[in-house]
């Protein structure tokens, strides 16, 4: 059972593994849990006072739950041992996957500056592939072209990969665009609910 987050506990000005350790009682939940309401209540409480922190929690959780749904063997057992990032397809993206090799750039990735891994969606003809990027072993270049404005601690960035061959275990699967039965869809819906929760927290704080 998750603990209830209190508003006075929001004096956090960065997002890292120490922060995750502090947040564990309020957000450490398996996605298969039937009762996600306390998780969203805690996110709502944080978003009222610290939208940047809520945004970081959202993107970390989405990345973890995508791994949990597809392959728990790739996911650390400890909640605060790893930080994840997630990003949907952006119009500027140039990442391409061909014969398990990937090359190109991925733009506007929240949590990138502190992430151990990332889950990215890559278009492949009539579908999209879900790939896990292990930033400790993947040759890549990160850039942060924008100033830390707005959601300071989430600091979106760009990374580039050049002709890297992915291991099969890091290709989590593919989803046809019209497939609403894919296990990925539940996590994407969860991610959208997080956005709505964070917007609601902002409105309630006004």
Residue of 153 and 100 predicted with greater confidence: 100
- What CA–CA distance (Å, rounded) separates 49 from 130? 33
Residue 1, pLDDT score = 85
10: pLDDT strictly greater than 60: no
149: pLDDT strictly greater than 60: no
Residue 13, pLDDT score = 84
Residue 112, pLDDT score = 93
pLDDT in tens, 164-205: 999 888 999 999 988 999 999 999 999 999 999 999 999 998
How far apart, in Å, are the Cα atoms of 168 and each of 27, 99, 138, 173? 30, 11, 14, 9
The share of the chain scoring above pLDDT 70, in percent, equals 93
Per DSSP bridges, beta strands 84-87 and 117-124 are parallel
């Amino acid at each position: 059972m998750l603990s209830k987050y209190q508003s006075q506990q929001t004096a956090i000005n960065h997002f890292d593994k120490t922060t995750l350790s502090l947040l564990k009682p309020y957000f450490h939940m398996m996605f298969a849990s039937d009762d996600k309401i306390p998780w969203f209540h805690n996110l709502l409480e944080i978003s009222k006072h610290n939208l940047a922190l809520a945004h970081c929690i959202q993107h970390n959780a989405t990345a973890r739950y995508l791994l949990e749904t597809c392959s728990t063997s790739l996911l650390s057992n400890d909640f605060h041992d790893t930080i994840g990032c997630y990003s949907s397809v952006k119009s500027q993206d140039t990442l391409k996957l061909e014969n398990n090799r990937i090359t190109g750039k991925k733009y506007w990735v929240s949590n990138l500056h502190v992430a151990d891994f990332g889950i990215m969606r890559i278009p492949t003809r009539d579908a999209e592939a879900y790939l896990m990027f292990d930033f400790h072993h993947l040759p890549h270049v990160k850039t942060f072209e924008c100033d830390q404005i707005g959601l300071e601690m989430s600091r979106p960035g760009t990374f580039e990969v050049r002709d890297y061959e992915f291991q099969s275990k890091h290709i989590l699967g593919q989803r046809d665009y019209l497939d609403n039965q894919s296990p990925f869809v539940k996590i994407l819906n969860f991610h959208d609910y997080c956005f709505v929760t964070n917007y609601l927290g902002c409105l309630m704080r006004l």
